[in-house]
Amino acid sequence: MESIRKPTSDEIRIISYLAEKAKCKLEASWESKLMVKPITDMEIGPVYLLFQSEDVENKKEFLVSDCQFCDTDNVLVVLYLLVDEDGIPCELDMWKCDDTPINAIPSCDKFEDIYP
């Protein structure tokens, strides 16, 4: 599994979209402060969001925002943004419903609400 790294442009775009949807405030220049730690071995998949420390795995998390889209093979992908007890984003979960790797992340205008 990859170690801590800078987020991809897709990850930044998704976090921004889900945070805005949840009305979750992000610090100024949050993108430059963010590091991510992959949770699985998948190239595109869930990541811990590291704004303050590396100890995110044992914190209580709360779902604040979600959306979905169909991947290029027409399999549903769901995206979740979780925050910690302080309201700080701590995880971006990306899950493809058949557990195969995500092929591509579309533009945000292709995202749909999970529960409209």
**Domain boundaries along the sequence of the chain:** 9-110
- What count of other Cβ atoms lies within 10 Å of the Cβ of residue 115? 5
Q: What pLDDT is attached to residue 17?
A: 97
pLDDT at 114: 92
Please state, in angstroms and rounded to a whole number, the distance separating the CA atoms of residues 13 and 106.
Answer: 10
Per-run averaged pLDDT (10 residues), the chain, 116 residues: 84 96 91 90 82 65 95 97 90 93 95 87
pTM reported for the whole predicted model? 0.88
Cα separations in angstroms, 36 against 33, 45, 93? 10, 11, 12
pLDDT at site 116? 63
The predicted structure's pLDDT at residue 41: 79
Cα separation, 102 vs 70, in Å, equals 10
Chain-centroid distance, C-alpha 32 = 16
Predicted confidence at residue 69, as pLDDT, reads: 97
What pLDDT score does 51 carry?
80
